[in-house]
Structure 1
Amino acid sequence: MTVTASSGSPRVSPQLYDTLPLSSVRQAEQQDRFPDGGELDTLITFFRSGNDRLEAARLLASNAESIVARAANRIFVGGTPLSFLEEPLSTGEVSAKDATPLAADQVAFQDSVRTFTGTESSGSKGNFLSRLLQGNDDGDVRIVLPTGFTAISVAKYGPGNMRKSVRDLGWFLRYVGYALVAGDPSILAVNTRGLRDLLEKGCSLLATNVALQEMRAASAALLGDRPEARRLTIECFDVLLKELAVPTPSTRQKLGSSVRQGLQLPAIYALASETAQRFEMRSGLSGAEKAEIVRAAYRQVFERDIAKGYSQTPCEVEASQLVQGKLSMREFIRALGKSKEYRTQFYGRFVNSRVVELAYRHFLGRGISSLEEFRKAFSIVSNQGLNGLVDVLINGAEYAQTFGEETVPYLRDLGEEAQESAGWGSNRRLFRFSAPFESAPQYITLYAAYRQPLGDQHVYGGGNDPIGNQYGAIFPSATASVSTRPAPFGYDTRRLLVSNGLTQPGQMDSPQFRSSRPRRLGPKIVRLQQIATGGNSIPRRAGQPSIRGTESSTQAVIKAVYVQVLGNTGYATKRVESAENRLENGDINLREFIRLVARSSPFRRRYWEGLYITKAIEVMHRRLLGRPTFGRWEIDALFDTAARQGFYGLVDALINSPEFSECFGDDTVPYERFITPKDLTSRRAPTWKEQLNLEAQIEFNLRTRPELKSGNSFKTPGDITPRNLQSKANSSIENWVRSEPLRKSDSRESSIALTKPGSTTDNQKQPTWAAKVSFKGSASPEVPGARLSRALDSQAGAGFASKIGITSWVELKPPFTEDELKYAVEETYRQLLNFIPFEGERLTSAESKLRNLDINLSEFIEAVAMSDTFQQRLSRIAPLRVAPAASLALLGRTAIPSEVAEFLKTRAEEGQRQAITNLMKRRNPSDCNRLLQVKLSSFSGRTPFSSLKKMRGEQILAPTQLTTGSQLEALVFPSSTESSRSKFNSKRSQPTSKQTFVVPIQEGQKSGLVNALQTKDASGFSRRAGISPSIQLKAPFTEDELQIAITETYRQLLNRIPLDNERLDTAESQLRNMDVDLSGFVQSIAMSEAFQNRLFSMSPLRAAAAAGLALLGRASTPAEVSEFLITRARDGQQQATLYFLNKRKQEEANDVPQIKGMTTSSGQDQATIIRTSMLYRGNAGLNPPMDSPL
């Protein structure tokens, strides 16, 4: 049994023989035309002679024993061969009075059959030699004895071999009758090819040849008055004789490879298949025949005759060259695959996965055989486009070996070659006529389903039922979309059932399983309490139980029966009142009452008449026995009972079963004992579940309840009294709760002391603070000098520059290098088309002219703007947005209202291309070698202060005050050298800054930092650390430090701690033995399947962002995202991951990757901090915008 999905097994039963009607219309069907006159005449003749052929077959069947006896008497001596016949050969033999009169020699056959060793009839006198040498007057059926033939002795041959030989002769004659009815002897060739070796080993091939000649002569004599039937019969026996003379052909081999298994196809299957018609272009063919071959190529590549159906003739020039012999069929197929019509029909409308599947059907005539083959083709179509995929398929060795240079590709269906069982259902769907209209990929979804376990469903597949019971076959529905597949469960497979509150149910279908009772929280058991009254009151019921005096409890039991069996309390018109009265009077027990309710018409209408058998069995099983069925074997047994005994027999079988007796007995109402896992899932109410944090610690922080201040103002009944509201005045202070009181001291000294390393002792703990409500503002102390920076003029040299929205450009002036040319061309494509096109889509002519200085950059931009790709892009935009989009792409700015009006007017009157031309004329002549661009502020943010200082040099204002030594010592933030190891401790550490800030302080003047630290809410608090400090692993290290580093690395890259079987044991051992450093261990995890699958499950842009956040600790820049996507498409995802790994700094080789992009540091702009905070969903002291960073 398999637990993953299969490709499905559609019922494909190809006819293993040919008939005259099929062979007559097959060629017309393959050529997509109506039958011609000759084919119709053949069909007319076949149907007109149908009665004669049927009568001839009936005559052969009626006289089968006589014909076989004549052949057996010819090759066997010393006994009666027909006495070894186990069953009569004459199926459908007529009675004596209705029998067809036999020929004169047939009368002699009857006597010779039964009395071969006794006296012979007068018509058949002579010894064995005379019978052996007797001839026949008909020349076409004259018996020719082969050289070396000798008769076989019955005694030496043995009874077992005699029975087999006589049976085989009867089979030969029976297949001749089949061939007569079919009008074609192919059924004989299929079933006789390969018997030569078998007959030579177990019998005599010469004797079989003589026996068939004798049967041919006897059948021809029998059909002497039917010339056409006689001719067909002789042809059939000739085919038998010819096939027995041919040795067993070798099997057809299909070579394997490293990703595909080798297969072989027996010759008889190839012979019996419906072979596809071959079309081969040759120089000696007529013009009509060559035109038909060209149409066959159209039918193969486009799946229909587009020349006849749609009057389309793609590649007319190549077709003319093909007819003239200047072009091979292989190159013509290549031209069709690269044509505009093929690109429109089979490339532009589908995703790349479906494009690969259809291309294999069109150019190789088969489906995809393996996942590796699909990955290779998908990579080609993603990197090189459709033209690259067509070239790879046609240039391959498989195409050359199968079709060669002049043969039109054909579908390699059943019988053409051996077929893989994997992907069987997808191959069947790909060969359908409706394949071009199915846009969903078949193979990649199938390969994905191979790796996923099956859903919890019924053993006979999914259904359309809206409730938890999935009952079996999938029926088409106009309102329900069924996506489940039939599960490949075996016959002996048992379903998994969940106990519904039972006490130790034990093994399935065991005595403990059947006698288990529910616990207190399980289903309620309802029993009928019966009282024994003896025989004094009612003599006829002496000793039987009575229920007198318990009428209320009896009605409760009856209601419970209706709820369990019918599903409701029982309406007045659906209650079985007579059975209720008999139960109350004690005439029947509760078990019989349940039987009568189950046999009632309401139960039958609800659970039998409106359902198919499998579903009805499942529902009745749940209602009467309280559990689902175990599997197919139980369903099949009940299905057989329903087929033989009907509805009432099925009800009796369930109630009379031993399981009902042991579980419920005669006094218990059935209850639900077991359910399926899907039932359990669907019955659970959807609730919010908080994620379990195993590292959390309980903190008991006592807090006094805030008292509302009572005002002295006059209150009236119309006033609103606020309740359960926090005081607005104390909201910023009350949001922070202290774990223990602080010592009363100078606020300035205590606050600054807490920032110094080593300022606390072992006996004194630092007070910790925890936020009880969400805080969206900046919770960290103000940076020294921040107010001064904000106070500076934004336009001054010492301040910050304004937002960057100034127009920029890419300039390309001759002479230029190849790199400069490539950069300008790619930027032009990216600005106008929003992507870099494939090689087959690039404007190679315009690029060559630009490279040769025949045109300038402005003319190249105009050539790209006039291309179909840019025009189609504008055509898909709303009219009012076309002019701004075109102006932004070509002029680097948005269009003014007058330009928009002129653009729309020109577009409506003269077309869109003329409007683009007029827009290009608005460019300044000085911009002929420039690509005008607009840099958005969302990507560059504000210019860093360090960059402005470097650009403007001496313009930055010098500080007016110098800092004294005592002031400097008092206001220095500690470095992170001491706190870098604090992560290895179990306690949470205070986040520290890695920079040192110095602020000048005058006498009597306090800085912004000191003012912030003097407030009540800032006296020693630290904002809740959302990001852990850095972790370093340098040799020598302890095992605890190693485990912490490994755990944090897994959590950073995989977002979870992997299971034991998912851990990289080899990489961990190398790190423990110091064979690799921590950066090598990070690279091993990044290259692992778990991390790669995590990236594969995301969209490309999300994958780039996730990889940058995990490996670099920050959001990726647009340039890094672009490089990641290009490397991923060209070299694969692992090489793209290496690109991010190489960007890690050398000094971080022993650091665990962590989120670093949410703190301001040198070389890191504000846009990166905002995007990192949006990805991490942290606050980071910012208020990031809500739109996506990508």
Structure 2
Amino acid sequence: MGRNLTQSGLLSFMTVTASSGSPRVSPQLYDTLPLSSVRQAEQQDRFPDGGELDTLITFFRSGNDRLDAARLLASNAESIVARAANRIFVGGTPLSFLEAPLSSGEVSSKDATPLAADQVAFQDSVRTFTGTESSASKGNFLSRLLQGNDDGDVRIVLPTGFTAISVAKYGPGNMRKSVRDLGWFLRYVGYALVAGDPSILAVNTRGLRDLLEKGCSLLATNVALQEMRAASAALLRDRPEARRLTIECFDVLLKELAVPTPSTRQKLGSSVRQGLQLPAIYALASETAQRFEMRSGLSGAEKAEIIRAAYRQVFERDIAKGYSQTPCEVEASQLVQGKLSMREFIRALGKSKEYRTQFYGRFVNSRVVELAYRHFLGRGISSLEEFRKAFSIVSNQGLNGLVDVLINGAEYAQTFGEETVPYLRDLGEEAQESAGWGSNRRLFRFSAPFESAPQYVTLYAAYRQPLGDQHVYGGGNDPIGNQYGAIFPSATASVSTRPAPFGYDTRRLLVSNGLTQPGQMDSPQFRSSRPRRLGPTVVRLQQIATGGNSIPRRAGQPSIRGTESSTQAVIKAVYVQVLGNTGYATERVESAENRLENGDINLREFIRLVARSSPFRRRYWEGLYITKAIEVMHRRLLGRPTFGRWEIDALFDTAARQGFYGLVDALINSPEFSECFGDDTVPYERFITPKDLTSRRAPTWKEQLNLEAQIEFNLRTRPEIKSGSSFKTTGDITPRNLQSKANSSIDNWVRSAPLPKSDSRESSIALTKPESTTTNQKQPSWTAKVSFKGSASPEVPGARLSRALDSQDVAGFASKIGISSWIELRPPFTEDELKYAVEETYRQLLDFIPFEGERLTSAESKLRNLDINLAEFIEAVAMSDTFQQRLSRIAPLKVAPAASLALLGRTASPSEVAEFLKTRAEEGQRQAISNLMKRRNPADCNRLLQIKLSSFSGRTPFSNLKKMRGEQILAPTELTTGSQLEALVFPSKESSRSKFDSTTSQPFSKQAFAVSIQERQQPGLANALQTKDASGFSRRGGISSSIQLKAPFTEEELQIAVSETYRQLLNRIPLDNERLDTAESQLRNMDIDLSGFVKSIAMGDAFQNRLFSMSPLRAAAAAGLALLGRASTPAEVSEFLITRARDGQQQATLYFLNKRKEEDADEVPQINGMNTSPGQDQATVIRTSMLYRGNAGLNPPMDSPL
């Protein structure tokens, strides 16, 4: 029995700490009473009911009794196993084959003579057989007879055909395994007793029937379990509840051994999906999700619960309970009445507006596909081909097409059918692919809707990349390459689920740490390689012989002794290499140090003792996962990281079988340690990882290698420094740290070299320097007259520049080259031409070249593939958010010229400006841009029209250059009067327009005021001032007239009044979520008047926060200007500040609201304090005019009188 159990490997899963193999996920492989009690409440998103709470209360109250019963079984484990083994084996003592004791056993007296193992086993066997239990000897015959009736439920029934097994024929190996397995069965009964649920037994014994029938007698196993059940029940006779649960656990064992091995769950595969099998024990151990199936005979409450389960599956939360949302109410009613299937109801939920808003509009198509697979199929994406197919569907057909394809598929029909609510097919439901393990775990989390980044497309793309330079079991197992301690990357910060599909035979690439020709990895040359002079320091123990003989003997070994200085240095090097530091006083192994100094042990044994010490164990074993501990110990003792999985698995097996000390011995006794370090060398770091090499490099500047550089073999003449010939006096200033321009040898050197051929469109550096036609030698700007008074008269700074500007000839100053008229991109074109055109388009429209994340990659790709021309690409950039936001920040009258200059390469005419403003006000800014693009000439479809400024080569006087440049700027061909512009800008305000027209000059004729290009030597304003006729120039408009809102009013009048009120008090139109919807609704329903609406805004958070952000005096001035339309008087400011300090800012605001006149109740507050009126002093008028500057309602200037 033991042989087959061990060889099958099933008992390897019989552990409560088993996991799925990933450190990120550790599923519960058995059930407990608290988990099974609250699981249904957790799946239904509700609180536990009364019955579930009573079960929990009973479980916790009986906890001490169950723990005591488990301890009692554990302390008598050998007796129970011996009773069962003696029943099924004959011809020997079965318990003598037990390798390790099952329990602590009974404490013998101090005077007792110690017995051998077989003698102890025989004594326990005899005691078990004779029935020496203390409980069996108590009472008289009648009491024992009554107690015998209690054992009726554990009566041993021998099955037909049972025969005892001979120990001699069975063999010692099989006997050891069988006795060990009986102890395991009893141990798991104790686990189930503590957990309060026997499911752990069902999980680990399901399917053992077939194995036992092939290897040993199934009948003998049945009889042994019955004997163990009877013995355990006898021990727990005084604990009825624990006795009942123990008997139930043994009954589960007997029942599971009688059931044949169930078939595995099959996961059908396809050409793009992997077919897998799930063993039945995993399906039994999983936390099965609750199934919800709609049936006609269910009650109304049950059907409502099933509909809520559908909401939880599709929307990942109970939106009906949490948000009072019930999507698809009509379909839900039809589902309850039986007119609609659950499959069609799930389809309706997927196509609902709520689902589209939450899981489609907020995500990219890649993430939409991933979430749809979770919601409608209950799983993640299996392969890259499956993702590509779904991505193509959602791109071409949208969300509705994707939902139809998933629900109409054969997988949905086979898994859920017509009436079952989809559920998550997680661990235990079906076999899981290891390919998308990390992405599946993240997709099944509750926070999946809040992660917008796609997981699977990047995951499967990473599979196609080469393997990274990291640990074969994950990058988190590589320690940071420092000397002290074992520091690993954080397991919670920046965790990466990217795969590392290292095979079993994959070998990691390591970097030599200064070794001489290490050769092939894991070869004799690799192990015997020694470091170079610049490599790591090699420390050896120099030993000398003692005694009179050449090879003295001490206990059969040569006596050796190291010098005191060398030994201490070696001991220090050992501590630094093995422990990471020189070792604290309490961490040093002093006895081993003395033995090394005396020559009793060699250096290799001293390293072994230090590695087996408690400081080393505490640092590199106890607090680390085994894989990490193996990696660190491998670096410390062998001086290199591990090669791959095959090496780690071998050390892992050693650690599992022999523990920490066995692992240390395996590393030190390895052939690699012997060949690399021997018995007299301290281990050193031989190899490191590429990541360690990168982290240890000091940051420095490296010149980039120029592969196209050419070597010049011609020798150049070294320029000679010429001494200056100027005369210096005591009044001259000697330049410090700057080279004198007159004595510059570099200047003469550059000048003597031949000038390159200059293009007509480029200006050379030499053209910007003064030239002389007589000689190439640089003449000093002045000479001293030494023969006279000995004084010097230097030239005035800037004299030459002044003379050049005064004359018509610039004498060597070249004009700045202008911008070309257009950039043309005609197919076929090169990549450089495309890149140049695209960058110039970005630079002209956006005034900068955007980053990679801001570029219009889709439009650039279409332009590269000739799907669009350059004009359409320009329109795409113009329609982008960046260009639109740039125009939105410009004043309205400047938007049209700026857009025309960027798109058409010229300024806009007045009619174009008027049309642009009208279209922008009625249809939006994007439509105005679209209409402006239609004015382009069709012949310019492949051109980027730039500003037309002609360039001039050579040298041109500044006066002529200025005149020629001015002539190139296109002038507007039409003129618009002030009244016409007012009508276009404000078409809806009839009253304001009529009032404005009454004060505007009459329209004038174009012929009377036409200006040609040649006559535009003076600005238009100067021409208007010189003439007596000021036609076309209207008076600057002041503050608009008051806006009243009296009932009845239209919706347009209401919106104007509301907008002006916001603008007066808040200096802006608030966003939709900042607007006072309640106050606007009351104003629309005439529940409040306009003054009440003004009061609501003034008492709101937006207005109050603006006042809080100012100083007290400025807050008083701003509040008065916004609410009263004028500057506050000193008395009002004082009252505002007193009220604000005493009662708060809102009461101070009410003070200003109460000072408004009653006749202004239906008027929007406006600036009316700039005109003198009776009763208003001149100081208030001055302060109001100082406060009001354009649109600065609540932002008084810094130099205001307040």
TM-score using structure 2 length: 0.48
Partner of 1:922: 935
Partner of 1:1004: 1016
Question: Do 2:480 and 2:487's aligned partners in 1 also have CA atoms closer than 8 Å?
Answer: no
In structure 2, relative to structure 1, the CA distance for the partners of 1:223 and 1:425 (3 Å cut) is same
Counterpart secondary structure, 2:129: coil
Question: Do 1:299 and 1:306's aligned partners in 2 also have CA atoms closer than 8 Å?
Answer: yes
The whole-number CA distance in structure 2 between the counterparts of 1:375 and 1:771 is: 86
Question: Do 1:108 and 1:123's aligned partners in 2 also have CA atoms closer than 8 Å?
Answer: no
Deviations 1:1-21 (A, max 9, x none): 999999993343333322222
Counterpart secondary structure, 1:264: strand
Question: Do 2:292 and 2:306's aligned partners in 1 also have CA atoms closer than 8 Å?
Answer: yes
The whole-number CA distance in structure 2 between the counterparts of 1:783 and 1:1159 is: 56
The whole-number CA distance in structure 1 between the counterparts of 2:985 and 2:404 is: 69
In structure 2, relative to structure 1, the CA distance for the partners of 1:561 and 1:268 (3 Å cut) is closer
- Of 661-670 and 566-575, deviating more is 566-575
Deviations 1:704-749 (A, max 9, x none): 9999999999999999999999999999999999999999999999
- Of 342-351 and 7-16, deviating more is 7-16
Question: Do 2:976 and 2:1032's aligned partners in 1 also have CA atoms closer than 8 Å?
Answer: no
Deviations 1:565-623 (A, max 9, x none): 99999999999999999999999999999999999999999999999999999999999
Question: Do 1:1158 and 1:1180's aligned partners in 2 also have CA atoms closer than 8 Å?
Answer: no
Q: Mapping of 1:604-643 within 5 angstroms?
A: none
Question: Do 2:808 and 2:959's aligned partners in 1 also have CA atoms closer than 8 Å?
Answer: no
In structure 2, relative to structure 1, the CA distance for the partners of 1:888 and 1:816 (3 Å cut) is same
Counterpart secondary structure, 1:735: helix
Deviations 1:246-270 (A, max 9, x none): 2221111111111222111111221
The whole-number CA distance in structure 1 between the counterparts of 2:638 and 2:63 is: 58
Q: CA deviation at 1:414?
A: 1.3
Deviations 1:139-174 (A, max 9, x none): 655666656666777777777766666665555555
The number of equivalent residue pairs is 1189
In structure 2, relative to structure 1, the CA distance for the partners of 1:505 and 1:687 (3 Å cut) is same
In structure 2, relative to structure 1, the CA distance for the partners of 1:1025 and 1:1128 (3 Å cut) is same
Counterpart secondary structure, 2:445: coil
Q: CA deviation at 1:308?
A: 1.9
Question: Do 1:857 and 1:930's aligned partners in 2 also have CA atoms closer than 8 Å?
Answer: yes
In structure 2, relative to structure 1, the CA distance for the partners of 1:1075 and 1:127 (3 Å cut) is same
Q: CA deviation at 1:346?
A: 2.6
Question: Do 2:949 and 2:968's aligned partners in 1 also have CA atoms closer than 8 Å?
Answer: no
In structure 2, relative to structure 1, the CA distance for the partners of 1:1076 and 1:496 (3 Å cut) is farther
Counterpart secondary structure, 1:715: coil
The whole-number CA distance in structure 1 between the counterparts of 2:1004 and 2:773 is: 15
Q: CA deviation at 1:402?
A: 0.7
Q: CA deviation at 1:275?
A: 0.7
- Of 207-216 and 640-649, deviating more is 640-649
- Of 265-274 and 1011-1020, deviating more is 1011-1020
- Of 889-898 and 954-963, deviating more is 954-963
- Of 518-527 and 1012-1021, deviating more is 1012-1021
Counterpart secondary structure, 2:1053: helix
- Of 793-802 and 592-601, deviating more is 793-802
- Of 279-288 and 1103-1112, deviating more is 1103-1112
The whole-number CA distance in structure 1 between the counterparts of 2:206 and 2:714 is: 92
1:315 aligns with 2:328: yes
Partner of 1:426: 439
Question: Do 1:803 and 1:937's aligned partners in 2 also have CA atoms closer than 8 Å?
Answer: no
Deviations 1:807-842 (A, max 9, x none): 999999999999999999999999999999999999
The whole-number CA distance in structure 2 between the counterparts of 1:1025 and 1:109 is: 118
Partner of 2:894: 881
5+ residue gaps in structure 2? Answer: 1-13
Q: CA deviation at 1:286?
A: 0.9
- Of 1164-1173 and 830-839, deviating more is 1164-1173
Structure 1 counterpart of 2:377, from 364, 375, 391: 364
1:902 aligns with 2:915: yes
In structure 2, relative to structure 1, the CA distance for the partners of 1:332 and 1:576 (3 Å cut) is closer
Structure 2 counterpart of 1:784, from 784, 797, 815: 797
The whole-number CA distance in structure 2 between the counterparts of 1:273 and 1:57 is: 25
Question: Do 1:800 and 1:942's aligned partners in 2 also have CA atoms closer than 8 Å?
Answer: yes
Partner of 2:605: 592
- Of 1036-1045 and 1099-1108, deviating more is 1036-1045
Q: CA deviation at 1:287?
A: 1.1
Question: Do 1:3 and 1:453's aligned partners in 2 also have CA atoms closer than 8 Å?
Answer: no
Q: CA deviation at 1:358?
A: 2.2
The whole-number CA distance in structure 1 between the counterparts of 2:709 and 2:1065 is: 22
In structure 2, relative to structure 1, the CA distance for the partners of 1:74 and 1:538 (3 Å cut) is closer
Q: CA deviation at 1:285?
A: 0.9
- How many percent identity over aligned positions? 95
Deviations 1:864-900 (A, max 9, x none): 9999999999999999999999999999999999999
In structure 2, relative to structure 1, the CA distance for the partners of 1:806 and 1:227 (3 Å cut) is same
The whole-number CA distance in structure 2 between the counterparts of 1:1162 and 1:776 is: 80
Question: Do 2:517 and 2:529's aligned partners in 1 also have CA atoms closer than 8 Å?
Answer: yes
Partner of 2:238: 225
Q: CA deviation at 1:237?
A: 4.0
Question: Do 1:461 and 1:474's aligned partners in 2 also have CA atoms closer than 8 Å?
Answer: no
1:1102 aligns with 2:1114: yes
In structure 2, relative to structure 1, the CA distance for the partners of 1:489 and 1:782 (3 Å cut) is farther
Question: Do 1:6 and 1:446's aligned partners in 2 also have CA atoms closer than 8 Å?
Answer: no
Counterpart secondary structure, 1:934: coil
In structure 2, relative to structure 1, the CA distance for the partners of 1:599 and 1:313 (3 Å cut) is closer
In structure 2, relative to structure 1, the CA distance for the partners of 1:506 and 1:353 (3 Å cut) is same
- Of 683-692 and 126-135, deviating more is 126-135
The whole-number CA distance in structure 1 between the counterparts of 2:924 and 2:569 is: 84
The whole-number CA distance in structure 2 between the counterparts of 1:1098 and 1:162 is: 91
In structure 2, relative to structure 1, the CA distance for the partners of 1:949 and 1:188 (3 Å cut) is same
Q: Mapping of 1:87-102 within 5 angstroms?
A: none
Q: CA deviation at 1:229?
A: 3.9
Counterpart secondary structure, 2:476: coil
Q: CA deviation at 1:49?
A: 3.0
Deviations 1:478-515 (A, max 9, x none): 99867698978899998755556665566779998899
Structure 2 counterpart of 1:38, from 42, 47, 51: 51
- Of 1103-1112 and 818-827, deviating more is 1103-1112
Deviations 1:358-415 (A, max 9, x none): 2222221112222222222233333333333222222221111111111111111111
Question: Do 2:88 and 2:223's aligned partners in 1 also have CA atoms closer than 8 Å?
Answer: yes
In structure 2, relative to structure 1, the CA distance for the partners of 1:989 and 1:789 (3 Å cut) is farther
Counterpart secondary structure, 2:797: coil
Question: Do 1:367 and 1:430's aligned partners in 2 also have CA atoms closer than 8 Å?
Answer: yes
RMSD of Structure 2 on Structure 1 (CA): 26.9
Q: CA deviation at 1:242?
A: 3.2
Question: Do 1:252 and 1:266's aligned partners in 2 also have CA atoms closer than 8 Å?
Answer: yes
Counterpart secondary structure, 1:748: coil
Question: Do 1:462 and 1:485's aligned partners in 2 also have CA atoms closer than 8 Å?
Answer: no
The whole-number CA distance in structure 1 between the counterparts of 2:810 and 2:1106 is: 48
Q: CA deviation at 1:22?
A: 1.4
The whole-number CA distance in structure 1 between the counterparts of 2:158 and 2:562 is: 101
In structure 2, relative to structure 1, the CA distance for the partners of 1:692 and 1:1074 (3 Å cut) is farther
Partner of 1:1031: 1043
- Of 551-560 and 1144-1153, deviating more is 1144-1153
- Of 279-288 and 142-151, deviating more is 142-151
Q: CA deviation at 1:43?
A: 1.4
The whole-number CA distance in structure 1 between the counterparts of 2:189 and 2:551 is: 81
Question: Do 1:525 and 1:669's aligned partners in 2 also have CA atoms closer than 8 Å?
Answer: yes
In structure 2, relative to structure 1, the CA distance for the partners of 1:764 and 1:165 (3 Å cut) is farther
Counterpart secondary structure, 1:253: strand
Question: Do 1:561 and 1:669's aligned partners in 2 also have CA atoms closer than 8 Å?
Answer: yes
Q: CA deviation at 1:233?
A: 4.0
Question: Do 1:546 and 1:586's aligned partners in 2 also have CA atoms closer than 8 Å?
Answer: yes
- Of 712-721 and 1102-1111, deviating more is 1102-1111
The whole-number CA distance in structure 2 between the counterparts of 1:15 and 1:1181 is: 66
5+ residue gaps in structure 1? Answer: none
The whole-number CA distance in structure 1 between the counterparts of 2:885 and 2:771 is: 68
Greater RCO (CA < 8 Å, at least 6 residues apart) = 1
- Of 304-313 and 979-988, deviating more is 979-988
In structure 2, relative to structure 1, the CA distance for the partners of 1:229 and 1:792 (3 Å cut) is same
